[in-house]
Structure 1
Amino acid sequence: MRGDRAPYLVGFEAKGLIHPLLGASAFGHAGAAGADGFADPHSGLAYGYTRRRAAFGFTAPENERLTAILLRCARG
């Protein structure tokens, strides 16, 4: 990734490149105010997150931590 531009594939963000713990086939899209969502066909996981308050910019820092926790729990 270069700068704050996300890699896209067929209209979705390539989430496997954004979150290295996900598989290469993971896809999703970030939304306004820090919302985020993805599906990872390899692991069978799906994630959706919205915020009560808007984040500064379009990213919410807790998404990285929540995604890592989700993947750790799924892997046992």
Structure 2
Amino acid sequence: PFPSADGSPIKQSLVLDLSLHDFAPDELLQDCPDLVFLIPYSKLYEILSDAEEVKDLATTGIPLNCRVIRDRLLLSSY
């Protein structure tokens, strides 16, 4: 887990290591190289925080400005 019990980030130097072959049966991937996707825990924590913020806004009944949220998410990925 990347957030601690109190919600603060932990293990930020670790990465989630996923393989292309994790997502499809071997018979579909016979001619495909086994590409690896590395997602830093810090990025996962950031995505989780953004999702929780959107959920909190949605539950308060405040209209969401999806363009602002999308633009902020895009800018934070650089």
The TM-score, its normalising length taken from structure 1, stands at 0.26
Structure number with the bigger relative contact order (C-alpha 8 A, sep ≥ 6) is 2
Larger % of strand: which?
1
The TM-score, its normalising length taken from structure 2, stands at 0.25
Larger % of helix: which?
2
